[in-house]
Amino acid sequence: MDGPPGLPADQITMAFDVPFLTQCRLVKRIPIFSSLNWFRLQMIARQGEFVRYKKGGLLVEKGAPADFVFFVISGRITSFVPEDGERREVEFIHKGMFFGIISALTGETHSQTFEALNDSTIFRIPVARFKTILEKVPGLGVRFSRILSQRIRNRVTRTSCGPRSTIISVYGPVAGAGGSTYALHLALALARETSDPVALVSIRSQKTADRPWTSGTDEVRPKWKALPRDLSVLVPIEQISSVMTKGELPVDLLNVTFETSTESLVQNIADFVSGFSDEYRYVIVDLPSELDDVVMKTLVQSDHVHLLTLPKPEAFKAARAVLDRLEQGLKAAFSEDRVKIFLSGAQEDPEPSLKSAQAALDYDVTDALPPIGVEDLTFLHDSATIEFKGLDPICPYQRTVSKLARELSGVSIGLVLGGGAAFGLAHIGVLRVLEEEKVPIDVVVGSSMGALIGGLWAVGYSSDELEKMAREFRNRSSLVKLMDFVFPLSGLISGKAITAWLNAKFRGKAFSQTRIPLKVVAYDLIRRKDLVIDDGDLAEAIRKSISIPGVFQPITTQDQLIIDGGVMNPLPTDVLVARGVKRIIAVNVLQTPEDVIKGYQKT
């Protein structure tokens, strides 16, 4: 039998060789059929067929006729509606669920597009045969009606039909890159930041022995104590809960090994990885450094790949080779948003290492993971399954991983500091409260005075130090030192003295060296648009943002005339909204709440 019309041949494989008894057992795994007797199960199995869709394959497109009703045996499916060149996700469908029944019963075309998020096995029944099944087994119609009613109720009340499970694979192509440490603490951070169920899965080949701890800081790496399970025995798996270790940590644990010569694992690894989707919101997969077919298949089947590399030429070469293979495997789905690189083992100032890494890899490096010191280790977790040293919550490594977890889960917290000249000094009081309450800020955006205060705070000055700086200018003599008048008048003050003051405070630092990511907003008067600056020299960017028209001489380039960012965008919340940040603390000293709402709605 042919696949759906218009579907590329490399996106579908027909599973003709499934024995009939196995077909019946697979049908029984589908919850809505599970209580039927053996005679009914055989009848349903004969009416349908098993189809294998590859990751990224379209099962059906919006507007296509209703030819089948689909039941998910393994894998993950997402449904979406194409809108203006983008896609609005409607529902996440995993093992045991079904779709396409409404179109089948009404005769209407499909209102959504359905795409395989993993290699997926589907049992599909032609519409005419499905209607025959309902006539022979009337009780099934009642069951389908109840489930569909609940789905419709969820959509009307905007209740989620089940959150999308996210699979993140952590891989370091060179041993010692810290992949296992990162995977563990990322999993713990996701559980802490979201309160969602999280699974940590360690996969190792049987020829790779667990390395013993070699130093005090190496004890932060998890050491698995319980004997690992054989992956070939677990694939395929009907109920993942039965093999998970629960209760020892805020995340559930699974440690497995595989034999590299087991060819069937490569075909079945997608079923194993997606098998966690009906129970866990996040699945962190810690992979060995050997890049064999099983590891490569796992990387391709994941939603996100976090690739760790050391600041060494041989590590960059290995990471670049992995990127090339992932680009071939993921094809159009390959992107820097999906495949992220992290620099492990960087020194206190990671800027030189980041630049050399990006140049060697010809790829953007997402972040540098700070080194872990002995002083960062605070406690020993020692349970029946796993042992490791815990980290101080405020140490640089832990703060970085927690920030990444918030970004990944969509719960990042952004701070927007608006303009307001002298009124902008009120920002310092807000920063003091954030420090006292230990509110984690993941990104700072500022315009005009907000850019100055936010920039100084982002590089590491405390609120107390900022207050001392502000008090320096209570004396008129201190202010006069910054007033270097310019003629002819394009602004009262040339800004050279201000620039010198900024250079002294920022000490030549760039955006990549801030403690917290920073974005500075200025305004291009020629093009009449905002300039969002997040790269280059900090002092230069903030000088642009505080160029108050008529007071400071504007910054001119070959094709730009740059003035104070607060002139047109005094509270730039739109910068964070465009970045997808949903939790925003906006400090406004000028605009009314009504004006803020209007600016937010424009985005």
Domain ranges within the chain, ordered by starting residue: 14-156, 166-408, 412-597
Asked whether the predicted pLDDT for residue 486 surpasses 50, the reply is no
Nearest Cα neighbor of 215 from 414, 46, 453, 389 is 389
Q: Average pLDDT, stretch 285-311?
A: 93
Output the pLDDT for position 317.
Answer: 95
Output the pLDDT for position 401.
Answer: 96
Q: pLDDT class for 217, splitting at 50, 70, 90?
A: low
| Lowest pLDDT segment from 4-18, 57-71, 490-504, 564-578 | 4-18
Choosing among 4.10.520.10, 3.40.50.300, 3.40.50.1220, 2.60.120.10, the CATH entry for 14-156 is: 2.60.120.10
Token digits of residue 199: 């699974």
Asked whether the predicted pLDDT for residue 346 surpasses 90, the reply is no
Asked whether the predicted pLDDT for residue 479 surpasses 50, the reply is no
Dihedral angle over CA of 312, 317, 318, 324, nearest 10: 140
Asked whether the predicted pLDDT for residue 305 surpasses 50, the reply is yes
With H, G, I as helix, E, B as strand and everything else as coil, classify residue 87: strand
Mean pLDDT for the chain overall: 85
Output the pLDDT for position 454.
Answer: 95
User: What CATH code is assigned to 166-408?
Assistant: 3.40.50.300
Output the pLDDT for position 194.
Answer: 93
Selected residue with higher pLDDT from 320 and 175: 320
Output the pLDDT for position 314.
Answer: 93
Total number of residues shown for the chain: 603
CA pair distance 554, 310, nearest whole angstrom: 43
Helix orientation angle between 313-330 and 293-301, rounded to the nearest 10 degrees: 60
Is the Cβ–Cβ distance between 552 and 498 less than 8 Å?
yes
Q: Average pLDDT, stretch 497-516?
A: 88
Largest CA distance in the chain: 96
Q: pLDDT class for 554, splitting at 50, 70, 90?
A: confident
- The percentage of residues in the chain with a pLDDT greater than 70, rounded to a whole number, is 85
Q: pLDDT class for 498, splitting at 50, 70, 90?
A: confident
Nearest Cα neighbor of 252 from 294, 197, 307 is 197
Asked whether the predicted pLDDT for residue 4 surpasses 60, the reply is no
Instruction: List pLDDT tens digits, range 89-119.
Output: 888 898 889 999 989 989 999 999 999 999 9
Q: Average pLDDT, stretch 129-156?
A: 84
CA pair distance 546, 520, nearest whole angstrom: 10
Q: Average pLDDT, stretch 18-27?
A: 88
CA pair distance 78, 91, nearest whole angstrom: 6
Catalytic residue list: 448, 564
Instruction: List pLDDT tens digits, range 55-79.
Output: 999 999 999 999 999 999 989 999 9
**Single pTM value for the model:** 0.81
Asked whether the predicted pLDDT for residue 412 surpasses 60, the reply is yes
- Annotate 335-399 with DSSP letters as a single string: -TTTEEEEEES--SS-HHHHHHHHHHHTS-EEEEEPPPPGGGEEEEEE-SSEEEEEE-TTSHHHH
Residue bearing tokens 């969602």: 196
Output the pLDDT for position 215.
Answer: 57
CATH architecture for segment(s) 412-597: 3-Layer(aba) Sandwich (3.40)
Instruction: List pLDDT tens digits, range 183-197.
Output: 999 999 999 999 999
Residue bearing tokens 């991983």: 401
Q: pLDDT class for 6, splitting at 50, 70, 90?
A: very low
User: What value does the CA radius of gyration of the chain take, rounded to a whole number of Å?
Assistant: 28
Selected residue with higher pLDDT from 597 and 565: 565
- The percentage of residues in the chain with a pLDDT greater than 90, rounded to a whole number, is 52
With H, G, I as helix, E, B as strand and everything else as coil, classify residue 30: coil
Output the pLDDT for position 397.
Answer: 93
Burial of 372 (0-12, 13-18, 19+ CB in 10 A): buried
Output the pLDDT for position 3.
Answer: 46
CA pair distance 140, 36, nearest whole angstrom: 9
CA 557 to each of CA 80, 524, 561, 576: distance values in angstroms, whole numbers, following the listed order: 45, 10, 7, 27
Output the pLDDT for position 2.
Answer: 46
CA pair distance 455, 431, nearest whole angstrom: 12
Nearest Cα neighbor of 414 from 594, 575, 588 is 575
Is the Cβ–Cβ distance between 191 and 183 less than 8 Å?
no
